[in-house]
Amino acid sequence: MEESALRREDKKVVAVVGAGLVGALNACFFAKRGFEVEVFETREDIRKAKVVKGRSINLALSHRGRTALKHVGMEDKIVSKGIPMNARMIHSLSGKQSPIPYGKKGQYILSVDRANLNKELLTAAETYPNTKLNFDHKLQDWSAETGLMTFARPHGSKTQTQADLIVGCDGAFSAVRKQFLRRSRFNYSQTYIPHGYMELTMRPRNGEFAMKPNYLHIWPRNTFMMIALPNLDKTFTCTLFMPFEEFEKISTGDEVIEFFQKYFPDAIPLIGAATLRRDYFRLPAQAMVSVKCSPYHIGDKCVLMGDAAHAVVPFYGQGMNAGFEDCIVFDEIMNQFNEDFSAVLPEYSRVRVPDDHAIADLAMYNYVEVIQFLLHMLHMFFSNVFSPALWSSGLLVIHSLEAGKTHSFGFFLVFQVTFTRTRYHVAVERWHWQDKVINRGLLLGAVGAAAGGFYLLIKNPPDINKLAITAEKVWNKMAALKTPPSVGAASQI
Ligand code: FAD
Ligand code: EGU
């Protein structure tokens, strides 16, 4: 007892800026170590608020996120309120549904409620006596020299506080990050994709889920798609992803129905025509941004985590999972370097930047590619191209006749990203290697080659530089997709 009291004395003050998903979780991680944790959040306490504004209503939680929750003893609590999704359910234009499992039998991802997850994490952070949550505190400015932060309070007042370490968990438009931008040798890029998203709610039908609950429902269409995740109240949250210019073409209720009739006819009765007419215009389509930067730290004073360090487009369901994994990685390095911030922070940047950049690139690549692959999958269900042997080998190979080039949809990749903690950059390296092998025609017997290839790939890691997926390439790809007749161009990235 005495010893812990003594240790408390010399414990440093850690300020966590942002009490979103990553900030609230991070507060638990730092509190567990015994730091004096001060959390500062712009919004009011969402546990008391009547209406919670925010991004997506629900999220896919997978292995990385779960592991982080486990570190702070929260896994069971969150998982018990999540809905397992064992497979994707692909909806064809004619309304036919085809399931494609995520992993082996019994493996699943979870649909969790964002607000509930955030609330539970705040409550968990608050149970540590060494944690204080400060709501209605909007960070305006801070000093990299002194660690002095200035917060705007409601009604125009301001307060200032000092901390030994500032942890920026304040999301994609991070105020903490602004200080980084002023400094030399800080790399930064942000890209808005041409797509926006809109959420629509599918109510229960006769008191039950309107569709099968244990699936991530997907409607892949040409340049856009809709996905739906189940909620505990038996609703589904549908998210429509579409280029802004397409959203803008629809301006009346009739046009909404016409549009859904053309592309998502089976969803109209499930959402309800009247609801659809109304909800489509409730909120404008939201933008999606991809942010990459490096390094993630300034000296021994400040570190960025979660979306503040790496906002990724949602086409891998990994934004939160990656942010949660940031917390584990930081925690491990804290052990390794005895909580010495001057050693921990540079090491954290060194280790984590390549992985967060890899998932950011992957999600960006997937943004266009996944729609195409899901469409291919759908077609394969209705033709004989679909081979169970290829399937079970974990490798789906798609041959584009027009381009004369074979493309693999890395099920290994999706698997490693979703169900393991394989470093993101390593998973990507393996995937590129796999594609190369296939294009060289080494894939003869599907199962044998895939198994052998996988073995080789572990032995010979490929060149990382091949990876760079530029926004430009993604744009070119979008352009190619817009010219329907020559589909072939779409397979050359
Ligand atoms: P945020 O959740 O943005 O939280 C930041 C917090 O900081 C907020 O509470 C904000 O109020 C506060 N803040 C901001 N500025 C200040 C300031 N100046 N001072 C004080 N506080 C401040 N990820 C997944 O893993 N799986 C999914 O299925 C998934 N689906 C998604 C679907 C969509 C449509 C979108 C847009 C994203 C999705 N994501 C998903 C990504 C996920 O939402 C984010 O990665 C995650 O919310 C990041 O958490 P964060 O805490 O870093 O940032
Ligand atoms: C997007 C928005 C299916 C929640 C990528 C799959 C997503 C999620 C996929 C959102 C897709 C896309 C994967 C998971 C997941 C698939 C994945 C995307 C959850 C490649 C709430 N994506 N998402 N891939 O595999 O790895 O089923 O808003 F439609 S979970 Cl875009 Cl695993």
From first to last of the 493 residues of the chain, give the pLDDT tens digit: 444 444 445 789 999 999 999 999 999 999 999 999 999 999 999 999 877 666 679 999 999 999 999 999 999 999 999 999 999 999 999 898 988 888 888 999 999 999 999 999 999 999 999 999 999 999 999 999 899 999 999 999 999 999 999 999 999 999 999 999 999 999 999 999 999 999 999 999 999 999 999 999 999 988 889 999 999 999 999 999 999 999 999 999 999 999 999 999 999 999 999 999 999 999 999 999 999 999 999 999 999 999 999 999 999 999 999 999 999 999 999 999 999 999 999 999 999 999 999 999 999 987 777 777 777 766 666 554 544 444 433 444 444 433 444 445 567 788 899 999 999 999 999 888 877 776 666 555 555 655 655 666 566 554 434 434 444 454 455 555 544 433 333 333 3
CB 234 within 8 A of CB 208: yes
pLDDT at 380: 65
CA 88 – ligand 2 centroid, Å: 9
Ligand 1 centroid to 318 CA: how many Å?
12
For the chain, the maximum distance between any two Cα atoms, rounded to a whole number of angstroms, is 76
Q: What is this structure's pTM?
A: 0.88
31 CA to centre of ligand 1 in angstroms = 21
232 phi/psi in degrees, rounded to 5? -60, -30
Atom of ligand 1 nearest to the CA of 137: 20
Give burial (CB, 10 Å; 0-12/13-18/19+) of 214: middle
For 10-40, what is each residue's pLDDT tens digit? 789 999 999 999 999 999 999 999 999 999 9
Q: Residue 84: beta bridge partners?
A: 110
Beta pairing class for 13-17 and 165-168: parallel
Pocket test for ligand 1, best of 38, 56, 224, 303 (most atoms within 8 A of CB): 56
Residues with CB under 6 Å of ligand 1 are 17-23, 40-43, 55-56, 59-60, 138-139, 169-171, 175, 197, 239, 288, 306-308, 314, 317-321, 323
| Among protein residues, the one whose CA lies closest to atom 24 of ligand 2 | 316
CA of 20 to the centre of ligand 2 (A): 21
Contacts of residue 150, defined as CB under 8 A and 6 or more positions apart, other chains included, come to 139, 140, 141, 142, 158, 159, 160
Alpha-carbon gap, residue 286 to 278, rounded angstroms: 17
Residues 149-196: tens digit of each pLDDT: 999 999 999 999 999 999 999 999 999 999 999 999 999 999 999 999
Residue 53 CA to ligand 1 center (angstroms) comes to 12
Q: Which atom of ligand 2 is nearest to the CA of 88?
A: 27
Check if the beta carbon of residue 18 is closer than 8 Å to that of residue 304.
no
Gap from CA of 435 to ligand 1 centroid (Å): 33
Q: Which of 17, 26, 59, 286 to mutate to test the pocket of ligand 1 (most atoms within 8 A of CB)?
A: 59
- pLDDT for the residue 463: 43
